[in-house]
Structure formats: structure tokens, C-alpha cells
């Protein structure tokens, strides 16, 4: 794989799919104001849509799910009942409950006005606290590595790129990476793609999600795919187990 392939891919995807990531949603806003509510809603929607990228589910405006503190105070059974009332999967109750508690204990206390110069106050600088919240995300039960990185990217504003099944299909079928590549190799390659061409990582993630949902699923539709001209001469590489 060469960076020229990734540059060409970025050009084709920008041309076919556009380059609109929407407004940034991360926790740089007031820790008690509407910005934080919006970011928590982003976390909830990432959980609701983790099984499907083609059909996006939004949190109803009148749902108690938009209040992280309220969610954290509910038992898993109570949260399941709330999900059922909103016609959402009750299987998501456990990870949502765990994430709500993580949010209240770690993220909602992040105050960007807190001293960023490390002047010896009791509270560490904002960036350090945000990183601490990110590290604690790894301990949240029911949160996969990919979901955790989506939360880091879209909610915490961290420079990571989720390694989704869609990303693996696209890169492996083009011969850019092997399915057995180490996770760090995936992160390194996706990071180089973003940094070499000043691409928004949220944009890369959305491009790969759309490629996966429309063309590069379990049964690829290569003839219709925007990246078809970048395929190997013999066609896409086969993926084990698909």
C-alpha cells in the first residue's frame, strides 16, 4: 500500500460522498450547559447505532435518555423499560447504564475553565482530566474497543480513528492491509491517512461507515463502489469467513 492509494481514495470519496462532518460535538463546552447534554446525546446515539450504520436511530427529544444523570440513577431494568417505551432495543440497557455512570463520574466533571497551566490547584488541567476520562472508558463494561474509540472521537474529541468492520473490509479487499494485521498497525495506517492529507477523522469514519453499509458489506458490490478503480487487477481479495 502506498500513500498515493490513500490520497486517491480520499479524492474519490470526497467527490462521491462529500465532506460534511456536521457540527463538532465534544466536551469543550460548559460542563453543565446545553453543550454537555448534546455530547451525552451523541454518546447515546453511538450506542443505539453500533449494530447498524445504514439506519441511524436518534434519541427522542422528550426521552429521559438525554439526561445522563437521570440514566445513571436508574437500574438496568428501569433503563430497559425506558428503552422499550421509546421502541428501542432493551439489550442496550446494560452498556448505557454503565456509560451513564462513567459519564457522571468522569466526563461531567470536566471543566474547560479549570486551570490549564498546571499551577498546583487540586484539579488537574482540563486536558489531563479529559485524558483521565478517556482512560477510564476502557473499564466500562459492555463497551467494545470500537465503540470506545467512537466515543473518544465524536464525544471526547480525541485524534483516534475507529477500526470498524467496514474499515477492515475496505482496506483488506483492496490489499492495503491484512485482516491479521495488529491493531496498532490499523491505527497507524488510518492516522497516516488523516494526517498526511489533513482529513477530519470523523469524516474518514463516516466515509468508511457509508462504504460498508452501501457497497462493502459481507457481499461486496464492487462495480458500484466509488473506490472500484483502486481494486487489484484480479478483483477484490477474499476475506476469511465471508
How many structural domains does the chain have?
A: 2
Q: What is the dihedral of CA 206, 137, 107, 90, to 10 degrees?
A: 70
Domain span holding position 110: 34-154
Looking at residue 112, its pLDDT comes to 53
Same domain, 67 and 91: yes
Please say which residue of 133, 154, 175 terminates a domain. 154
In this structure, is residue 83 part of a structural domain? yes
The C-alpha atoms of residue 216 and residue 157 are separated, in whole angstroms, by 27
In this structure, is residue 166 part of a structural domain? yes
In this structure, is residue 132 part of a structural domain? yes
- Report the alpha-carbon angle 91-92-97, nearest 5: 125
Same domain, 145 and 199: no
Same domain, 91 and 169: no
Same domain, 93 and 180: no
CB-based contact 50:72 (threshold 8 Å): no
Same domain, 187 and 146: no
Same domain, 47 and 70: yes
112 phi, psi to nearest 5 deg: -65, -15
Same domain, 131 and 202: no
pLDDT in tens for each of the 242 residues of the chain?
Answer: 577 888 899 999 999 988 765 444 555 444 434 456 678 888 999 998 876 555 577 777 778 888 899 999 999 999 999 999 888 889 999 999 999 999 998 887 665 555 444 454 555 566 777 788 888 999 999 899 999 999 999 988 888 999 999 999 999 999 999 988 998 899 889 988 888 888 899 999 999 999 999 999 999 999 999 999 999 999 999 987 66
Same domain, 202 and 169: yes
Looking at residue 108, its pLDDT comes to 76
Same domain, 210 and 98: no
CB-based contact 21:239 (threshold 8 Å): no
Same domain, 140 and 214: no
Please say which residue of 130, 154, 178 terminates a domain. 154
Looking at residue 29, its pLDDT comes to 44
The C-alpha atoms of residue 142 and residue 213 are separated, in whole angstroms, by 24
The C-alpha atoms of residue 230 and residue 214 are separated, in whole angstroms, by 17
What are the grid coordinates assigned to 26, written together?
A: 465534544
Looking at residue 157, its pLDDT comes to 86
Q: pTM of the full predicted structure?
A: 0.83
Looking at residue 117, its pLDDT comes to 45
Please say which residue of 154, 174, 206 terminates a domain. 154
Same domain, 125 and 221: no
CB-based contact 44:107 (threshold 8 Å): no
In this structure, is residue 236 part of a structural domain? no
Amino acid at each position: 500500500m502506498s500513500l498515493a492509494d490513500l490520497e486517491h481514495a480520499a479524492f474519490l470519496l470526497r467527490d462521491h460522498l462529500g465532506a460534511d462532518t456536521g457540527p463538532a460535538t465534544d466536551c469543550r463546552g460548559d460542563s453543565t450547559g446545553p453543550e454537555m447534554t448534546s455530547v451525552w446525546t451523541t454518546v447515546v446515539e453511538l450506542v443505539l447505532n453500533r449494530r447498524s450504520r445504514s439506519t441511524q436511530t436518534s434519541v427522542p427529544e422528550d426521552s429521559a435518555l438525554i439526561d445522563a444523570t437521570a440514566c445513571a440513577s436508574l437500574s438496568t431494568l428501569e433503563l430497559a423499560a425506558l428503552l422499550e417505551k421509546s421502541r428501542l432495543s432493551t439489550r442496550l440497557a446494560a452498556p448505557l447504564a454503565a456509560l451513564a455512570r462513567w459519564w457522571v463520574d468522569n466526563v461531567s466533571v470536566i471543566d474547560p475553565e479549570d486551570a490549564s497551566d498546571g499551577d498546583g490547584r487540586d484539579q488537574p488541567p482540563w486536558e489531563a482530566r479529559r485524558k483521565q476520562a478517556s482512560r477510564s472508558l476502557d473499564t466500562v463494561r459492555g463497551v467494545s474497543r470500537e465503540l470506545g474509540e467512537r466515543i473518544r472521537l465524536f464525544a471526547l474529541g480525541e485524534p483516534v480513528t475507529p477500526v470498524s468492520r467496514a474499515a477492515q473490509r475496505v482496506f483488506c479487499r483492496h490489499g492495503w492491509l491484512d485482516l491479521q494485521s495488529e491493531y496498532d498497525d490499523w491505527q497507524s495506517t488510518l492516522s497516516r491517512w488523516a494526517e498526511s492529507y489533513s482529513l477530519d477523522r470523523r469524516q474518514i469514519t463516516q466515509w468508511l461507515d457509508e462504504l460498508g453499509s452501501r457497497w462493502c458489506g459481507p457481499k461486496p458490490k464492487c462495480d458500484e463502489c466509488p473506490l472500484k478503480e483502486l481494486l487489484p487487477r484480479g478483483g477484490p481479495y477474499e476475506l476469511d469467513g465471508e
